[in-house]
Chains A and B, each alone.
Chain A
Amino acid sequence: MNLRATLRLAIQALVRNKARSLLTMLGIVIGVAAVIVTVAIGAGARVSVQQSIASLGSNLIVVQPGSVTQGGVRTGFGGASSLTPQDGLAIAQLPGVAAVSPIVSVRSQVVAGGNNWQTQITGVAPTYTFIKAWALASGRFLSESDVASIAKVAVLGQTVVTQLFPGGESPIGKTVIIKGSPFTVIGTMTVLGQSGMGQDQDDVVLVPYSSAMERLTGLTTVNLLMISAATAAQVNPVQSEVVSLLARRHRITPPQPYDFQVRNLQAFAQAASSTGTVMELLLAGVAAVSLLVGGIGIMNIMMVSVTERTREIGLRMAVGARARSILNQFLTESIVLSTIGGLIGVVVGVLGTILVALLAKWPTLIPPGWIFASVGFSAMVGIFFGYYPAQKAAHLSPIEALRFE
């Protein structure tokens, strides 16, 4: 018998026992659906962790002043203010550096018309939007000439816009008072949302770092230097370049401790991503066990089916079926059952994933590979668990099968 005829026979037999076929498939359907949903949740979680790290900037290198441990006294970050905008300019010349921005932070009251709002004032360079991958919503961003001229201009985050301009009028061209100095609003930023730490990143006023230093802090040093490496691969080389450059500029010679700290987020990104992968595999393992249980269900029902259809098997043998044809028929039935079960499981799993995404608002992602893998695995479950019952059917003696009550 050829494959087509065998397939036809198997499908006929399954269609004739619709209820039992559906029940048999149920185990596989649930197993595959479980695989798809758990993998989708796992992969979704991993991707969202990766994305939130990427939004921080996985190419990001941060230089902080201080944290000098000397004579047992740890001064803590920012304890030694040593970083200057000139350090930043020097770093910008290093190969592999895409952008550098000094960061100057002050908390202050901001007043516009009758409204005032306590917020974060951040002095930055024009490169800041690039480093943060943060887009402008309206107006223009700070320019090099704003920095050079120590201009009293400001770009507002959306939270500040809503607090200071609740009427919905455009803030562009309006004046806001920061620590007594009037700043002209030249632009607004798009919504960035909460940071990984739960901070409102839109609750900020961006001003030229030179203006922040001159008019707000009165210091010649900055709080941070943010550096963006051109590629992820360049993060580590750039980081060591930065360390030796700053050591030279700050005239530090070993064993003298550095008066700055250079850190990047890549190690963290990798750790988070591998944790995600482990979780995903664990979930998939649990789901695979349920698939296996589905396979045992198939074997169980196929055994029952072989017993129930013993007379049918005897009749088929009487009219000329070889043992091989009987084996193929039952094996094919099992494979068809498990494969269709797998396909239905994929559909149920995808729908379940969509439901999870809609109701629980969890990030989900269905890797296409898993769809093929789970259908393929179902078919293999069908072969593996179908073989024994099929073998049993094929080895019946025709007369004993016919006589079976």
Chain B
Amino acid sequence: MGGVVEVRNLRKIYPMGDDEVVALGGVDLSIERGEFIAVMGPSGSGKSTFMQIVGMLDRATSGSYSFEGRDVAALTDDERADIRSRRLGFVFQSYNLLPRTSALENVELPMVYAGVPEARRLDIALEKMDIVGIKSLADHMPNQMSGGQQQRIAIARSLVNDPALILADEPTGALDTKTSRDVMRIFSDLNATRDITIMLVTHEPDIAAFAKRIVTFRDGHILSDVPNVKRAA
């Protein structure tokens, strides 16, 4: 088991006028290949900030972060974009699908930037859509789909470049209980059968229950980091 993410004393400080907000006050965390981590904690505890830095959407104020052995702080914006393209997958609470764009084209999008030849894109996109059970919706538009279906599209999209790590920030936040559980089962499945490393943010214990490890944040620090002994199925 090799290390995917290695974070040491990670700090993120947002300036707020003359004042500043310490969103992360020194976080240490290691994520190994094949893990399924739920990040919990009250609102404002720094969960999203942490995800964004790990996802290379934002930069830390200080501390060290290495991704698959590379020092992220030393990377250029283009190198970070390339890692996001090939090694990371994102799932957001608000799905973030392109409007007026078919499900298939939404799923294909990361491959466009990764330079995957057009002929292969269709096969890969359909394969990933099949995994999350929405292959039949390929030519539907996002506004013709339910929230659960849209989120599955987003999950399929996060899978197309075979990422090392999927980051999901409250992926079930906008879904009802039943749909939330369906979506969580997909993540569980991906982790179990395809050995995909997943870190997801939630503040609902039922959702966190699907993970193998639960990290709890409070005020920009990790309060607890424990294996989940009573996993849901």
Selecting from B30-38, B110-118, B171-179, the interface stretch reads B110-118
Other than the given A16-B100, A320-B114, 10 more pairs (CB < 8 A) read: A1-B115, A314-B96, A318-B55, A318-B84, A319-B84, A319-B110, A320-B82, A322-B77, A324-B78, A398-B57
Interface string of B71-96 (1 = CB under 8 A from A): 00000011001101110001010001
Residues of B within 8 A of A112 (CB): none
Given that A397-B58, A399-B57 are contacting pairs, would A319 and B157 also be in contact in the complex, using a CB cutoff of 8 Å? yes
Q: Which of A340-396 contact B (CB under 8 A)?
A: none
User: Is B109 an interface position by the 8 A CB rule?
Assistant: yes
Residues of A within 8 A of B157 (CB): 319
The answer to whether A323 and B113 have CB atoms under 8 Å apart is no
Interface residues of A (CB under 8 A from B): 1, 5, 9, 12, 16-17, 311-312, 314-325, 397-399, 402
Which residue, of B55, B86, B112, B157, has the highest number of chain A Cβ atoms within 10 A? B112
User: Is B99 an interface position by the 8 A CB rule?
Assistant: yes
Residues of B within 8 A of A311 (CB): 96
Per the bound structure, the CA–CA distance linking A314 and B94 in Å amounts to 13
User: Is B101 an interface position by the 8 A CB rule?
Assistant: yes
CB distance from A44 to the nearest CB of B (A): 45
Per the bound structure, the CA–CA distance linking A398 and B78 in Å amounts to 12
Kindly state the interface size class of chain B when it binds its partner.
20 to 34
CB distance from B22 to the nearest CB of A (A): 17
Which residue, of A311, A318, A322, has the highest number of chain B Cβ atoms within 10 A? A318
Interface of B is mostly: helix
CB distance from B116 to the nearest CB of A (A): 10
Per the bound structure, the CA–CA distance linking A314 and B86 in Å amounts to 17
- Select one of A12, A323, A397, A402 contacting B96, CB under 8 A: A402
- Select one of A9, A12, A17, A322 contacting B81, CB under 8 A: A322
Per the bound structure, the CA–CA distance linking A323 and B84 in Å amounts to 13
Per the bound structure, the CA–CA distance linking A204 and B113 in Å amounts to 80
Given that A398-B57, A399-B52, A402-B57 are contacting pairs, would A320 and B98 also be in contact in the complex, using a CB cutoff of 8 Å? no
Closest to B160 in A: A319
Given that A322-B78, A397-B58 are contacting pairs, would A316 and B99 also be in contact in the complex, using a CB cutoff of 8 Å? no
Per the bound structure, the CA–CA distance linking A182 and B40 in Å amounts to 122
Pair count A-B, CB < 8 A: 65
- Select one of B52, B58, B105, B113 contacting A1, CB under 8 A: B113
The answer to whether A316 and B113 have CB atoms under 8 Å apart is yes
Per the bound structure, the CA–CA distance linking A321 and B52 in Å amounts to 16
The answer to whether B113 and A321 have CB atoms under 8 Å apart is yes
Per the bound structure, the CA–CA distance linking A398 and B90 in Å amounts to 13
The answer to whether B112 and A5 have CB atoms under 8 Å apart is yes
Per the bound structure, the CA–CA distance linking A12 and B100 in Å amounts to 10
The answer to whether B112 and A1 have CB atoms under 8 Å apart is yes
Per the bound structure, the CA–CA distance linking A314 and B84 in Å amounts to 12
Per the bound structure, the CA–CA distance linking A315 and B99 in Å amounts to 12
Closest to A321 in B: B113
Residues of A within 8 A of B115 (CB): 1
CB distance from B124 to the nearest CB of A (A): 14
Residues of B within 8 A of A325 (CB): 113
Residues of A within 8 A of B90 (CB): 318-319
Interface residues of B (CB under 8 A from A): 52, 55, 57-58, 77-78, 81-82, 84-86, 90, 92, 96, 98-101, 105, 109-110, 112-115, 157, 161
Given that A16-B99, A16-B101, A402-B96 are contacting pairs, would A320 and B58 also be in contact in the complex, using a CB cutoff of 8 Å? no
- Select one of B58, B78, B109 contacting A316, CB under 8 A: B109
Per the bound structure, the CA–CA distance linking A9 and B84 in Å amounts to 20
Residues of B within 8 A of A315 (CB): 96, 98
Per the bound structure, the CA–CA distance linking A109 and B203 in Å amounts to 113
Closest to A2 in B: B115
Per the bound structure, the CA–CA distance linking A317 and B85 in Å amounts to 9
Residues of A within 8 A of B58 (CB): 397-399
The answer to whether A320 and B101 have CB atoms under 8 Å apart is no
Return the 3 tightest CB-CB contacts between A and B, nearest first: A320-B85, A319-B110, A320-B113
Closest to A400 in B: B58
Residues of A within 8 A of B114 (CB): 320
Residues of A within 8 A of B99 (CB): 16
The answer to whether B77 and A323 have CB atoms under 8 Å apart is yes
Closest to A4 in B: B118
CB distance from B33 to the nearest CB of A (A): 21
The answer to whether B100 and A320 have CB atoms under 8 Å apart is no
Residues of B within 8 A of A397 (CB): 58
The answer to whether B81 and A317 have CB atoms under 8 Å apart is yes
Given that A315-B96, A402-B57 are contacting pairs, would A322 and B52 also be in contact in the complex, using a CB cutoff of 8 Å? no
Residues of B within 8 A of A9 (CB): 112
CB distance from A10 to the nearest CB of B (A): 12
Given that A1-B113, A402-B57 are contacting pairs, would A321 and B101 also be in contact in the complex, using a CB cutoff of 8 Å? no
CB distance from B137 to the nearest CB of A (A): 18
25 contacts between A and B (CB under 8 A): A1-B112, A1-B113, A12-B105, A311-B96, A312-B98, A314-B96, A315-B98, A317-B57, A317-B81, A317-B84, A318-B55, A318-B57, A318-B90, A319-B84, A319-B110, A320-B86, A321-B85, A322-B81, A322-B82, A322-B113, A324-B78, A325-B113, A398-B57, A398-B84, A402-B57
Per the bound structure, the CA–CA distance linking A310 and B112 in Å amounts to 19
Per the bound structure, the CA–CA distance linking A12 and B112 in Å amounts to 13
Residues of A within 8 A of B77 (CB): 322-323
CB distance from B165 to the nearest CB of A (A): 13
CB distance from A310 to the nearest CB of B (A): 12
Closest to A312 in B: B98
Given that A318-B84, A319-B84, A320-B110 are contacting pairs, would A12 and B57 also be in contact in the complex, using a CB cutoff of 8 Å? no
The answer to whether A12 and B101 have CB atoms under 8 Å apart is yes
CB distance from B82 to the nearest CB of A (A): 7
